[in-house]
């Protein structure tokens, strides 16, 4: 990516930060959720293209697991709508076919997850005539998420060609697509959330803003250690001894820290009914990203099957 593209990319990442930090307010706007999903999907594609384009940027590429979670979230969103509509029109067979938990996809093996996501997408597609709350654009969005997941691991013989076809060649178009979606989000924020959040959003997405070009220092995702479920709103306290601040995990369990001072950091993760996790000796270096997958353990209440005998 050239310098201008880098500045646009940085602005898009700041926009994603704003979305994560204001998820509740944004979700209350009826027209907003599909735009946020499109924005997140395009960001993932752009990160993947950057990873293909430059070997030293592969740390920015999405993991297979994050793409599976995104695929599951998008398909799940639409099968929820479809199953409710099927119930209301009395199509019990269709309702049962669509009545799946998100873990039906996200907890499956990679091959099974993509098969299940595709089957559910096809079921929605073939029933568009009786599901007016599902559109062709929704089907396309699901197909895009499934394709992104399946394309994560290209064959070795394709890598040289992929560097151009799926890296350098894609980046300008993806940046332009993100601009379109970001402008639509801007209109809604200015319509529903002015003036305070609107002004804040404008500051976040200003391209080339000197104070906004930040380096990702720490990236962590939080999940349940037993069932691998995403944990949202985990309280994470970061410190290097002289600076301390708190962040909360996003809907997909992510916490991101930008432009931290170089040095030795640590964080404490706290979540109700889970044991506290303490991670120490985190090297923060402007040329690296400290990446952590944190599994929190649920507290199991003591068994009362054999209570102690009363004193005699």
Q: How many angstroms separate the CA atoms of 145 and 126, rounded?
A: 19
- Structure confidence at residue 166 (pLDDT): 58
Q: For residues 257 and 106, what is the distance between their CA atoms, to the nearest angstrom?
A: 26
Model pLDDT, residue 153: 55
> What integer pLDDT is reported at residue 243 of this predicted model?
80
Q: Which pTM does this prediction carry?
A: 0.38
Annotate the chain with three-state secondary structure. CCHHHHHHHHHHHHHHHHHHHCHHHHHCCCCHHHHHHHHHHHHHHHHHHHHHHCHHHHHHCCCHHHHHHHHHHHHHHHHHHHHHHHHHCCCHHHHHHHCCCCHHHHCCCHHHHHHHHHHHHHHHHHCHHHCCCCCHHHHHHHHHHHHHHHCCCCCHHHHHHHHHHHHHCCHHHHHHHHHHHHHHHHHHHHHHCCCHHHHHHHHHHCCCCHHHCCCEEEEEEEEECCCCCECCCCEEEEECCCCEEEEECCCCCEEEEECCCCEEEEEEEECCCECCEEEEEEEECCCCCEEEEEEECECCCCCCCCCCCCCC
Strand 235-239 relative to strand 244-248, pairing: antiparallel
pLDDT on residue 164: 57
pLDDT bucket at 56, cuts 50 / 70 / 90:
very low
pLDDT at residue number 157: 46
Q: Using only C-alpha atoms, what is the Rg of the chain?
A: 22
Asked whether the predicted pLDDT for residue 35 surpasses 70, the reply is yes
Among 110, 114, 115, 81, which Cα is nearest to 98's? 81
Where is average pLDDT lowest: 58-67, 113-122, 191-200, 278-287?
58-67
Between 121 and 173, whose confidence is greater? 121
Omega before residue 80 within 30° of 0, cis = no
CA distances from 110 to 66, 115, 203 (A): 12, 9, 39
Domains and CATH numbers, the chain: 3-205 (no CATH), 215-296 (2.60.40.1120)
- How does pLDDT run across 199-226, given as a tens digit for each residue? 889 888 888 644 444 678 899 999 999 9
The per-residue pLDDT of the chain, averaged, comes to 84
Q: Please state, in angstroms and rounded to a whole number, the distance separating the CA atoms of residues 175 and 45.
A: 10
Q: Output the pLDDT for position 45.
A: 85
In the prediction, which pLDDT does 289 show?
86
Q: How confident is the model at residue 311 (pLDDT cuts 50, 70, 90)?
A: low
């Amino acid at each position: 990516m050239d310098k201008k593209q880098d500045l646009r990319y940085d602005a898009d990442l700041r926009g994603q930060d704003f979305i994560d930090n204001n998820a509740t307010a944004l979700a209350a706007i009826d027209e907003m959720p599909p735009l946020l999903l499109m924005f997140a999907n395009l960001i993932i594609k752009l990160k993947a293209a950057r990873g293909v384009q430059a070997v030293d940027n592969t740390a920015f590429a999405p993991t297979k697991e994050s793409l599976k979670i995104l695929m599951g979230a998008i398909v799940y969103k639409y099968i929820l709508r479809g199953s409710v509509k099927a119930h209301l029109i009395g199509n019990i067979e269709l309702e049962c076919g669509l009545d799946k938990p998100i873990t039906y996809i996200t907890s499956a093996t990679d091959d099974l997850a993509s098969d299940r996501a595709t089957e559910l997408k096809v079921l929605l597609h073939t029933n568009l005539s009786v599901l007016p709350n599902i559109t062709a654009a929704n089907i396309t969005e699901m197909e895009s998420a499934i394709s992104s997941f399946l394309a994560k691991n290209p064959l070795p013989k394709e890598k040289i060609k992929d560097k151009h076809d799926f890296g350098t060649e894609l980046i300008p178009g993806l940046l332009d697509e993100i601009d379109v979606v970001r402008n639509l989000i801007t209109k809604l924020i200015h319509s529903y959330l002015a003036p305070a959040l609107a002004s804040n959003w404008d500051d976040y997405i200003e391209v080339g803003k000197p104070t906004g070009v930040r380096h990702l220092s720490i990236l962590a995702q939080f999940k349940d250690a037993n069932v691998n479920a995403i944990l949202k709103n985990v309280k994470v306290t970061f410190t290097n001894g002289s600076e301390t601040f708190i962040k909360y995990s996003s809907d997909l369990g992510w916490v991101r820290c930008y432009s931290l001072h170089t040095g030795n950091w640590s964080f404490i993760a706290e979540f109700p009914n889970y044991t506290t996790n303490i991670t120490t000796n985190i090297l923060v270096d402007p040329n690296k990203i400290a990446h952590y997958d944190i599994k929190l353990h649920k507290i199991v209440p003591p068994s009362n099957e054999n209570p102690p005998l009363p004193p005699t």
